[in-house]
Amino acid sequence: MLGSRNYIEKRDFMRMAINCPVSYQVADSDLTTKSGNCINLSARGILFQCDDKYPEGTELRISVQPQLSISPPFNAKMKVIRVDWQGEDNSYCIAGTIEMVG
């Protein structure tokens, strides 16, 4: 059957695994823009790895820069929904919902 999935997926949109730079900044602030690495992206969410921890509910402006120059950066505002410590890498994985594109 066309479109059927071989796994159980509870999300509305599938995640696309990507490995590219992401820059981020607390929304509506003058804080320094920082950088991390995007792990995956979907129509409504993002997961990226960085050195900073933010409380749930924090709004961030993000810019995902694809490795290929034929793809423009993806700019959006996101809301943090989960933060996981990655002890082996001394970093955090930030999961969030995409609130506004552009």
Which residues, other chains included, contact 5 with Cβ-Cβ below 8 Å and sequence gap of 6+?
none
The CATH label, of 2.40.50.70, 2.40.10.220, 2.160.10.10, 3.30.70.360, for the domain at 16-101 is 2.40.10.220
* Segments making up each domain of the chain, as ranges: 16-101
pTM of the model: 0.82
Distance CA 67, CA 54 (A): 26
| Residue 1, pLDDT score | 42
Q: Given this model, what pLDDT does residue 6 score?
A: 55
Distance CA 70, CA 63 (A): 16
pLDDT digits (tens, 9 = 90+) for 32-91: 999 999 999 998 999 999 999 999 999 999 999 988 778 889 999 999 999 999 988 899
